[in-house]
Amino acid sequence: MIKNIVRCLVVVGFLALNSGCGVIDYYFLTPPEDTARELVEAGNDAMQAKEYGNAIEYYTKLKDRYPFSPFTPEAELKLGDAYFLDEQFRAASETYMEFEALHPRHEAIPYVLFQIGLSGYKQFETIDLPQQSTAEALEYFRRVVETYPGTPYAVQAQEYIVKCRRHQAEYEIFVADFYWRTKRYKAAWQRYSFVAEEFPEIEDVREYAMARGKVAYLKHQEAVSTRSLEAENGSWKQYFDWL
């Protein structure tokens, strides 16, 4: 009985050795990691399926595991695209910026700069909030126009420059109108004047700022005159009260 068991074990061991230790490898050895090619292909498949979260995971793994692979620049660029399509615009902007820093002479740089601008533009929320992301977007759109004027991205960037400028102008008008509503006419007049001088190409905003600014200036002068008169009358009143 024992001899039969020993024979069976010998046979199993022999088969395992002849099969290249496949059984042992399967159960006891750590499975091999995905290659850079496999990860970029998996990421591309996820992008095609609009599974952007999965694409982000695959591209990030490739970037972290194989920083010197020839597939890594593609993964770094598409990682930015995956964040952008997933509407994670801050992460997209940061990823594109990192790509530009690592590959400043890459042929995709005009696209990357445009996407940084577009990511900033997409972070716009409402006109009553400071326009920091709009200012950043404007900077990158201008870089595209100035540095790569012959590319299709320059044409699109020029259109977004106009949109960014309008956002900025409308924010300044919002602030000026707030000063107007709170009867701070000097501050309103100064803000309207700034808008008229700074945004001459946005005609409707400029005309509104000029018209409103003139009235704000008159109201400011009226308030100053009233305060001066009250101060003068008040001093005479105090004099007669003392008498």
Average pLDDT over residues 181-194: 95
Q: Where are the beta strands (DSSP E) in the chain?
A: none
Query: Average pLDDT, stretch 64-75?
Result: 95
* Per-residue pLDDT band at 69 (split at 50, 70, 90): very high
Rounded distance, CA 82 to CA 33, Å? 23
| Greater model confidence, 11 or 97 | 97
Give the pLDDT of residue 12. 40
Report the range of poorest mean pLDDT among 3-7, 173-177, 214-218. Answer: 3-7
Helices (H), 29-125: 36-48, 52-65, 72-85, 89-102, 109-122
Indicate the pTM of the whole model.
0.77
